[in-house]
Amino acid sequence: MYALEGSVFIAGAAVQWLRDGLGIIGAAKEIEALARSVPDSGGAQFVPALSGLGAPHWDAGARGLICGITRGTTRAHLARATLDAIAYSVNDVVAAMREDLGTPIERLRVDGGAVENDLLLELQAGVSGLTVERPLDLESTARGAAMLAGLGAGIYADGRDAAKIVKLDRAFPATMREEERASRLSAWHDAVARARSTQD
């Protein structure tokens, strides 16, 4: 069996930076309500290259960037831009995997603390054009280790049998119009190009 892996260096940590570095929110869970208070980021883009850019850019010298702000930009717009950035960063990895696989990706299963945020998963489904599935148990690493142990012990017949223990909490369908998706991703890639230390 083979797997593809891609690293997004800063995802949930971008929310922590809004909390600890800028004081925009008092607790990470506050970001969803704040971001929902505006319809979109108002043109603001945040590239969270706070420790460089991971896959598929691999630019350790890239630096974080906030652009597209105006006098009307509020902390709510920055909160929304942060959730957008997480979704865009994950989409960059998904797009690279689609290209490497040469076959369609049908769905995206997610885990970790950040996926408690419904708005983030709605955005992720939209920009990726995929149904995003959130399991009831958000810690996939521990569950994966248990599944492998079960396979080794003969509790499960094969990987498909072991996968049956995954129970879904909710699926988020891709509802974003293609024109909007293309426009958002174009603006994101322009912002990423500005954040890069090297040009392709």
**pLDDT digits 0-9 by tens, 7-44:** 999 999 999 999 999 999 999 999 999 999 999 999 99
Within 13 A of 66's CA, how many CA atoms are on the CB side?
Answer: 17
1 within a domain of the structure (yes/no): no
CA atoms of 162 and 78, how far apart (whole Å): 41
For residue 52, report the phi and psi dihedrals to the nearest 5 degrees.
90, 180
Mean of the pLDDT values across residues 148-177? 91
Quote the pLDDT of residue 149.
93
Single pTM value for the model: 0.92
Looking at residue 58, which CATH number applies to its domain? Answer: 3.30.420.40
40 within a domain of the structure (yes/no): yes
200 within a domain of the structure (yes/no): no
Which among 97, 181, 171 has a CA at the least distance from the CA of 131?
Answer: 171
122 within a domain of the structure (yes/no): yes
Place of tokens 């630096």: 63
Quote the pLDDT of residue 121.
98
- Domain housing 55: 12-195
For residue 50, report the phi and psi dihedrals to the nearest 5 degrees.
-75, -15
Lowest mean pLDDT among 47-61, 77-91, 115-129, 135-149: 135-149
How many folded domains does the chain comprise?
Answer: 1
Residues 6+ away with beta carbon under 8 Å from 172: 118, 121, 122, 124, 125, 131, 132, 133, 134
Concatenated DSSP letters of the chain:
--------SSSHHHHHHIIIII-S-SSTTHHHHHHHTSSS-TT-EEE--BTBB-TTT-BTT---EEES--TT--HHHHHHHHHHHHHHHHHHHHHHHHHHH-S---EEE--SGGGG-HHHHHHHHHHHTSEEEEESS--HHHHHHHHHHHHHHTSSSSHHHHHTT--EEEEE---S-HHHHHHHHHHHHHHHHHH-SS--
99 within a domain of the structure (yes/no): yes
Quote the pLDDT of residue 199.
60
> What is the residue-averaged pLDDT of the chain?
94
Over 60: is that where the pLDDT of 186 sits?
Answer: yes
Place of tokens 């925009």: 24
* pLDDT, greater one: 29 or 2: 29
Tens of pLDDT along 45-97?
A: 999 999 999 999 999 999 999 999 999 999 999 999 999 999 999 999 999 99
Confidence of residue 200 (pLDDT cuts 50, 70, 90): low
Mean of the pLDDT values across residues 158-167? 87
179 within a domain of the structure (yes/no): yes
6 within a domain of the structure (yes/no): no
112 within a domain of the structure (yes/no): yes
